[in-house]
Amino acid sequence: MKKIFWASILAMAVLSMSRASAQSLGWQAFAQVKCETKFFKNEGVYVVTPKFDEKIRSLEGMYLTLKGYYIPTEVNSEKWIVMSKVPMSQCFFCGGAGPESIAMINFKGKFPKFKTDQIITVKGKLRLNDSNLDELNFILDDAELLTAPSK
């Protein structure tokens, strides 16, 4: 009986540690993803898309915390924003960074207005995307704003 008890405690500790480490991975995990160029027949375009391996897929559905810069978009949404690991001048859309440096953040509810390059911290459930051209590759769903220091 003692062996079962200690095995259960050990299993819970390992699971807790893997969840904690998943929360701290964020941008580091995204940077490990390799990309390939794929043709999207319906749109008639070639797009650089991620090749998600087992390691990153194992994080899907887990809650991750990301700290980064708010990037404004032409679409004004009350539910989602784009966040970048680097400031706008260096981000994927404007500078030399890759698709691994941006994430789409889908908030649970309303969120305050942000200023360009405002540093924020969010926590949400990771969803990976390699086929929907209307969304980014890395998405945090049900996200909560943890910090938003004033600029």
The helix (run of H) or strand (run of E) holding residue 48 is strand 45-51
pLDDT at 87: 86
Each domain of the chain, given as residue ranges in start order, spans: 24-147
What CATH class does 24-147 carry?
mainly beta
Residues 6+ apart with CB under 8 A from 64: 22, 23, 25, 26, 29, 123, 124, 125, 126, 140
Digitized pLDDT (tens) for each residue of the chain, 151 residues in all: 444 434 334 333 334 334 444 545 789 999 999 999 999 999 999 998 999 999 999 999 999 999 999 999 888 788 899 999 988 776 666 666 778 889 999 999 888 899 999 999 999 999 999 999 999 999 999 999 998 766 5
